[in-house]
A and B are shown apart, each in its own frame.
Chain A
């Protein structure tokens, strides 16, 4: 309990950033984010862009899996849908600011197609359906050559806003970071309202949710459509960022990556999404650096093992957090905060 923290109106009590201290921190963060690309090296700006994209996708997945309790094993495939949509649309001359929401919409539509048959029944059937969707979409990406360019992939022309070309990490940073911020805020707002509460209710005890007037099917479908929309936008950003859409990057392994991100960060928590996505974005880089040191230290060919080590580390992270910290890094953060509320006194 924070000392001296009281509210005079209900509106104050419900606000997201309720204390002056919090608002100050928020302002500082905003300033830091704006200043970042001007002070950091281009590699770090590149990582930040990647993180932004991962954040958008992980947020969508957390809405579906963390908050609503529907295990989705196909998040990467839905990103792929968004990415290919952007490739096709941009080539057809659709401007950037239209193509991106379109990517989200097309992904959401595919989500509806997958969700409508599989969300009517409870249990793990939906998880298997998303797995099926992952592989069927992968097949489509590889085989529908006329649209997707098949195994070679499709190139994505640079994004442009009124003649100003948005390419390279410096410029795209100022597109991706605001979009990620808006996405996070929108998701957080969702759970301050009836729709979000309904999602959580469905996860925790769906019988009760029905009694309260929540149509399970409609709300589950809505959750999945929203999650797919986020995935589509993330995929679209990926396309504009990396300038290419290929089948391999949107495979099952990448879906596992996002699942790991929300488990590590904390299911059902926006803070968890941020922490988890950050952690998972850094893990491959840390591994790559570690393998580089090992190679430099004389063990040749250590790089060959990078992919295998990455996978083992992902798996161990998922297992480790599930067993030892099921509520993820968000819970670790909360515990730390609580400790410091009354520090140096102990609770």
Chain B
């Protein structure tokens, strides 16, 4: 057993899991806030990357301008989605709203393909490539930096939720909208804000992923793999998103390292099926208790 190789795979896996955790956070935010799995998350990621590319490459704006414009644009898109797609569906069963996000994903995906075409595009280099060498282990620079960014963002969000007034309001609205209304919290605004956060998270994650690999309309498929993370961690748990992200990242890296690249696509889904058999609510998820 080649331990240094295993260790390298493991570390790279854990580090790339940071990014998965970030995407998972986007899912968990929406689920906690609205009880809906947002199947359009991948498309937010993809569109974020495309808007960034448009700003950075043909328009040749500096990276911070491109980033600002991207976040504003995707934030606006997310708010528009909440207002024009989800709000009208408010009374309907969850199944309808989930299918609405699926429909939305199709619209966004098709639109992206129509506007930017189906070929692979390259983003200008964002994260430094310089690897970190620890003895025998080589950790790619991009993976390290993406991990660092993910950690920073997750920490920022967690701080916001725990410590700021707006964050507490969001948690209140998520857990009991009626009481939150009674306390004077504008539940509609917090729901919109939840979606904006999810969109922005997705956009950032999308830019990072695109800069590390390449950009095409199928970038969103990564998000579907992240569903494994939230199933593992529990649909409504931020801690679960983090732990799950690291775990799935590790599992993917180790599987690809030993079994080749083809396996990467299918590993998350096998994880999903396995977890559902053993611990359906995930490691940290809360079991649904219904009021009878």
Contact = CB atoms under 8 A, between A and B. Distances in A.
Q: How many interface residues does chain B have, given as a range?
A: 35 or more
A102 interface: no
Interface string A21-34: 00000000000000
Interface string A298-329: 00000001011111111111110011001000
A132 interface: yes
Interface stretch (B97-105, B194-202, B244-252): B97-105
A227 to B, nearest CB: 15
A132 B99 contact: no
Contact of B276 (A118, A143, A309, A314): A118
Given A128-B231, A132-B273, A322 B99 contact: yes
A139 B273 contact: no
Interface in A276-304: none
Contacts, number: 130
Main secondary structure, interface of A, reads: helix
B276 A316 contact: no
Interface in B239-273: 262, 265-266, 268-270, 272-273
A34 B177 CA distance: 57
A71 interface: yes
A122 to B, nearest CB: 6
A176 interface: no
A127 B273 contact: no
Contact of B107 (A117, A125, A315, A322): A315
A124 B104 contact: no
Given A135-B224, A259-B99, A127 B281 contact: no
Contact of A125 (B93, B103, B276): B276
B94 A124 contact: yes
B125 to A, nearest CB: 29
B226 to A, nearest CB: 11
B87 to A, nearest CB: 10
Contacts of B96: 322, 326
A114 interface: yes
Interface stretch (B67-75, B108-116, B141-149, B150-158): B108-116
A127 B98 contact: yes
Given A128-B272, A323-B88, A326-B96, A139 B110 contact: no
A139 B259 CA distance: 14
B36 to A, nearest CB: 8
B163 interface: no
B288 interface: yes
User: Which interface residue of B88, B99, B104, B288 has the most chain A CB atoms within 10 A?
Assistant: B99
Contacts of A94: none
A120 B280 contact: yes
B262 A143 contact: yes
Interface centre among A122, A263, A311, A317 (most CB of B within 10 A): A311
B273 A136 contact: yes
B95 interface: yes
Contact of B89 (A69, A71, A315, A323): A323
Contact of A315 (B105, B231, B272): B105
A1 interface: no
A228 to B, nearest CB: 16
B114 A305 contact: yes
B89 A129 contact: no
Given A65-B95, A315-B105, A308 B111 contact: yes
A128 B113 contact: no
A275 interface: no
Contacts of B85: 319, 323
B107 A316 contact: yes
B191 to A, nearest CB: 17
A123 B93 CA distance: 11
A190 interface: no
A305 B112 CA distance: 11
B241 to A, nearest CB: 15
Contact of B270 (A125, A136, A318): A136
A125 B231 contact: yes
Interface in A237-295: 256, 259-260, 263
A311 B280 contact: no
A259 B94 CA distance: 15
B102 A318 contact: yes
A55 to B, nearest CB: 20
A93 to B, nearest CB: 32
Interface string A178-192: 000000000000000
Most buried by A among B92, B94, B277, B280: B280
A127 B269 contact: no
Nearest to A307: B113
Interface in B7-25: none
Contacts of A305: 114
A123 B269 contact: no
Contacts of A307: 110, 113
Given A127-B37, A322-B89, A322-B103, A315 B110 contact: yes
A69 B98 CA distance: 12
20 contacts: A118-B280, A124-B94, A125-B276, A125-B280, A128-B231, A129-B276, A132-B228, A132-B273, A139-B269, A308-B111, A308-B113, A308-B114, A309-B114, A312-B110, A312-B111, A318-B99, A319-B100, A319-B104, A322-B96, A322-B103
Q: In the A-B complex, list the 7 residue pairs whose CB atoms are closest, starting with the nearest.
A: A311-B110, A318-B103, A315-B106, A315-B107, A308-B114, A312-B110, A132-B269
Given A131-B269, A143-B262, A314-B106, 11 more contacts: A71-B99, A114-B273, A121-B281, A124-B235, A135-B265, A136-B270, A139-B262, A207-B292, A309-B114, A314-B103, A323-B89
Interface of A: 65, 69, 71, 73, 114, 117-118, 120-125, 127-129, 131-133, 135-136, 139, 143, 207, 256, 259-260, 263, 305, 307-319, 322-323, 326
